[in-house]
Every structure is written in C-alpha cells, then in structure tokens.
C-alpha cells in the first residue's frame, strides 16, 4: 500500500512541478494569456488537452459500466466523436478563429443580440456549475475510491470516502487555477496524456492476460468465444446507444460537444493558427478511434471475470477490474494517470466557467472598464469559489442511478442541442432574427423537459427526441428568417487577422482516412466481425 500511495503522489506532483516549470515565464497576467494561453497552443498540445479534458471518470467508469451491463454500443460517443471533430475542423474552427472569439457566447452576441448572448451564457454557466463540475468530482471519487479501496483501508463510510477524494481533487484543481490558467493546464494535459496512453492500455492488456492465463491472444479468443454478443456495437432500441441515434441525436450531441462546448473548444480557440488548430482536432479524432479499447472492452472483460459473482452496480466494474488485474506496483501509477484525467476535466470546467463569467458577465455588466490584471485576479477568485461550491455539491450526487454516463448525457440535453441549434442556424442563415433564437431556446428546453419528466409520454430514445426538436427548431428559425428577417444581414466574411487562418494542407486526406477507419471499426464490432457468433 505504501508503494502504491508513493507512486501516486510522486507522479501527480511531478506533473504539476514540470508544468509549472515549463510555463513559469509565460505571460498569464493578461486575460488572453490566462484564459486562452496567449493564443499559442500547437497541434499536439491541443490534441492532448482535448483528450484529457474530455476523458475523465464519467467515461472510464460510465462507459465501462455500459460495457459491463450491455455491449459495445456505447462506443458511439467515442467513435462518433471522430466524425464530429472532422466537421469542427472544416466548418466551425475557421469561423471562430477568423473572428477571434474567446467564448462561444461571443458568436451568439454578434450573430443575434446581447440578450441572447446572456441567455446562452447563463445556460452554459448553469450546466457547468450544477452538472459538470460536481459530477466530475463525484465520478472521480467513485473511481479513485474503488481503486484505492479507501473505505476498507481507512475504515471510512461510503459518504466519507467520497468527501475525502472530492476535497483532494478540488484542492489540486484550485492550485492549477491559481498558478497559471489554461497554459499550465494544457502542458499538464500533455504530460498526463502520455501516462494515460500507457496506463489506459495497461488495464485491458493485463485483464486479457488474466483471462488467458498469461496469454493475451488466448484471453481475446476466450472472451469473444464466450460472449460474442458483447462485441456488437450496432445497438438495439434497448441498448444505451441504439445505432440509429448515430444519425440523429448522437450526431448533434457530438457536434455540440466538440464544436460548441466552451470547455472543449476553448483549447482550439487558443491555437497558434488555424493550421495548428485543425491539426490538433484531427489528431484527437485519430486517438478517439482507440477509445473503445480502454473505455468499453475492460467493462466486457469485467463481465467475464465477475460473472460468477455479478456486481450490483455496473459503474463499479472498472475500478474493481483495475484492482483485480493490475500488479500492486502499477496501481499507484495508474491511479495517478486517472487522477490527472479527472483533474484535467475539472480544471477545464473551472477555467471555462471562470472565462464565461469574467468576460461575459463581470466585464460587460459589472465593470466595463476593468483592466486585464483585474479580470485575471478576480477570475482566479471565481475559480476557487466554484471549486469550493462543487466540493459541497458533489457528495449529494451519491444517489445518482447506475449508468451514470448515459444519465449525464440525458440531463445535458436541456442545454447542449438547444445552443447548438442557434449556432448552426446562425452560421448557415444570415437573416434569422434574435427573437426567434430566444423562442427556440425556450421551446426546445420546455419540449425536452416535458418528454423527460414523463408529462408527454413517448417510447423514443432521448437522442431521437433531441433530433426531432432540433429539426422543428431549425425549420422555425429558417422560416422566421425568411418572413421576418433581421434589418441588417449578418456578415461573417471579414477576417480580423487575430491569428493566421491558412488551413492545414493535409486536412482533406487525413479526414478521408479517419472516415474509412470509423467504418472499419463498426464493421469489426458487428455481426460481420467479432459478434458473428452471437
């Protein structure tokens, strides 16, 4: 146990120390330097930061829990992300960088009006503060608590164990927030990303060797032979991700997440130029193709290993598997890598929430003349306060149902696709008025809420409902743009030359290769591939 704790603490603080050392002379006193890393991030750093910001215990615990309880259908979130990242690289990022936007609501304000911008900004803030931040802490506590067996080791109650881990993550998150903003987080993400690739692949390899009595290939053979139905990614209507949703709500959710979610796209907005931004997005798309190897297959292996003594909660499959198959001397390192992923998601949410509040609420509404150093200083205070609030709220999620990841996606539907609707229509249609944007947001959220609360009875999957509401809302906005157009047509043609917007010359060929790989992955995990014996 001492070796496990030592390796965990050592790697965690090594990453923090190296990140601080490499960024100590960089300017983080200006709002652009603190919130957008001085617009100087390169492709590899963007890719690593995107992956680590995205990857946390919601995925490690939640998706592997789906693999344990169902099959490979949950990989739609991962593999579908590759297609979304291509579209973001081609369509969204050039428009964002051309105008030099620091936040997504900046586009909303320029396209529609200030009131719509504040409405969307509020939805982002509410989603991050009430859902994202506490959930990252809670799911992190579940994962870390299971790996270290904190309850058994320190004789703590389940709630007390959650509180201990939540506070530890929150305090370290505050340290990153205070020391350097987005730049230090991006460097830490790159270092943790290297560890994550090693650590994330370690678990399925050791687990397969465990199943195959020391032989990984024998483990794969036994697993596929025993449970071919588990390797089917073509989900039915009873699975977490029915396959048809890949072409409806799942597609929209992925486009919002990678192209319009402030926490994620802020990394690409901080790109040195468009070429580096596009390169970072497509590198991330390539890595997402490997996501099922460490985000779903370990859950399937856990199903096989624990089939004689089934777990009561599927979300415990991953931490239980890690404890079962990893040698004791590697558990500390792996826990540190996982802890880094949790920190990355938490830090990203803190930084983005602080960015949205300071640039879109404090500066325009509270103190329009606030200098940069004041925005940075008070932005750090906001980050610390948010961290403390999240630490207080996170333990209250202890009653969340199993299947945490799917539950989160359903709740996020209240604001993600409604905001995406305004953004995509705003880019494609230059005349839809601001009032139609406000009506769309209200209609969308009320309509979605009525279906999810059971007021409107339907057997449709929530992703299909999101797609239907999107289609109705988009048609409404296009009609209003035709019948009651804005007095001044929106013009997005002007390049403000904030950064060089010359596109990456390999964007097309790399994108085609990724699309072919996505098709190949789905064939592999279908009745034409590993699930043929089902």
Q: Domains of the chain (ranges plus CATH)?
A: 2-399+500-524 (1.20.1730.10), 413-487 (no CATH)
State the pLDDT at residue 263. Answer: 82
Least confident of 223-237, 261-275, 405-419: 405-419
Q: Work out the percent of the chain whose per-residue pLDDT is above 90.
A: 42
72, pLDDT greater than 90: yes
Would you say residue 238 has pLDDT above 90? Answer: no
- With CA atoms as reference, report the closest residue to 438 among 419, 457, 455: 419
Q: Residue 413's closest CA among 460, 457, 358?
A: 460
CA pair distance 319, 336, nearest whole angstrom: 13
| Cα–Cα distance for residue pair 351/173, rounded to 1 Å | 10
CA–CA gap between residue 51 and residue 281 (Å, rounded): 10
H-helix or E-strand spanning residue 472: helix 462-483
- Name the more confident of 173 and 297: 297
- Interior angle at CA 125, CA 441 and CA 354, nearest 5: 145
> For the stretch 190-229, what's the b/e string if a residue is b when 16 or more beta carbons lie within 10 angstroms of its beta carbon?
bbbbebbbebbebbbebbbbbbbeeebeebbebbbeebbe
Residue 239, SS3 per DSSP: coil
- For residue range 181-223, what is the model confidence (pLDDT) as tens digits? 556 666 666 677 677 777 788 899 999 999 999 999 999 999 9
d(CA 222, CA 513): 32
Rounded Cα distance, 396 and 532, in Å: 43
pLDDT, mean over the chain: 85
Listed residue (263, 261, 262, 280) closest to 271, CA to CA:
280
Give 50's strand partners: none
Calculate mean pLDDT across residues 364-388. 84
Tell me: pLDDT of 137 over 60. Answer: yes
Highest mean pLDDT among 7-21, 137-151, 323-337: 323-337
Confidence of residue 57 (pLDDT cuts 50, 70, 90): low
Q: In which band, very low, low, confident or very high, does the pLDDT at 392 lie, cut at 50, 70 and 90?
A: confident
């Amino acid at each position: 146990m001492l070796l496990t704790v030592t390796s965990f603490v050592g790697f965690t603080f090594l990453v923090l120390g190296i990140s601080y050392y490499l960024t100590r002379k960089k300017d983080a006193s200006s709002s652009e330097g603190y919130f957008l890393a001085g617009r100087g991030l390169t492709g590899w750093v963007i890719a690593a930061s995107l992956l680590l910001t995205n990857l946390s215990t919601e995925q490690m615990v939640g998706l592997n829990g789906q693999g344990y309880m169902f099959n490979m259908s949950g990989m739609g979130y991962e593999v579908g992300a590759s297609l979304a990242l291509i579209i973001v690289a081609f369509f969204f990022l050039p428009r964002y960088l051309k105008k030099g936007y620091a936040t997504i609501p900046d586009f909303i304000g320029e396209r529609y009006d200030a009131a719509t911008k504040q409405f969307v900004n509020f939805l982002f803030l509410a989603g991050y503060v009430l859902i994202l931040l506490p959930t990252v802490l809670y799911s992190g506590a579940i994962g870390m608590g299971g790996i270290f067996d904190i309850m058994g080791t320190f004789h703590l109650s389940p709630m007390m164990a959650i509180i201990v881990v939540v506070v530890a993550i929150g305090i370290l998150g505050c340290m990153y927030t205070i020391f350097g903003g987005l730049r230090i987080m991006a460097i830490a993400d790159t270092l943790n990303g290297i560890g994550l690739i090693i650590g994330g692949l370690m678990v399925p390899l050791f687990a397969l060797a465990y199943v195959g009595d020391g032989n990984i290939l024998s483990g794969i053979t036994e697993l596929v032979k025993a449970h071919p139905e588990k390797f089917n990614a073509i989900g039915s209507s009873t699975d977490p991700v029915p396959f048809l949703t890949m072409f409806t709500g799942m597609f929209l959710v992925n486009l919002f997440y990678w192209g319009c979610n402030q926490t994620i796209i802020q990394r690409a907005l901080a790109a040195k130029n468009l070429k580096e931004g596009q390169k970072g997005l497509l590198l991330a798309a390539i890595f997402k193709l490997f996501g099922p190897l460490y985000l779903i297959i370990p859950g399937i292996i856990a199903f096989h290993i624990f089939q004689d003594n089934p777990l009561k909660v599927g979300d415990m499959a991953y931490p239980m598997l890690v404890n079962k198959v990893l040698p004791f001397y590697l558990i500390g390192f792996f826990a540190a890598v996982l802890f880094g992923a949790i920190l990355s998601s938490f830090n990203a949410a803190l930084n983005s929430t602080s960015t949205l509040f300071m640039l879109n609420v404090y500066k325009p509404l509270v103190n329009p003349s606030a200098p940069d150093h004041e925005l940075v200083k008070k932005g750090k205070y906001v980050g610390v306060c948010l961290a403390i609030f999240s630490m207080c709220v996170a333990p209250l999620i202890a009653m969340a149902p199993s299947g945490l990841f799917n539950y989160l996606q359903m709740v996020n539907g209240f604001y993600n696709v409604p905001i995406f609707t305004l953004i995509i229509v705003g880019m494609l249609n230059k005349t839809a008025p601001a009032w139609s944007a406000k009506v769309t947001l209200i209609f969308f959220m009320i309509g979605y809420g009525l279906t999810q609360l059971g007021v409107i009875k339907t057997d449709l999957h929530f992703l299909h409902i999101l797609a239907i509401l999107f289609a109705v809302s988009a048609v409404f906005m296009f009609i209003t743009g035709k019948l009651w157009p804005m007095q001044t047509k929106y013009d997005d043609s002007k390049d403000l030359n904030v950064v060089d917007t010359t596109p990456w010359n390999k964007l097309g060929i790399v994108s085609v290769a990724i699309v072919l790989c996505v098709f190949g992955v789905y064939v592999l995990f279908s009745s034409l591939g590993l699930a043929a014996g089902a």
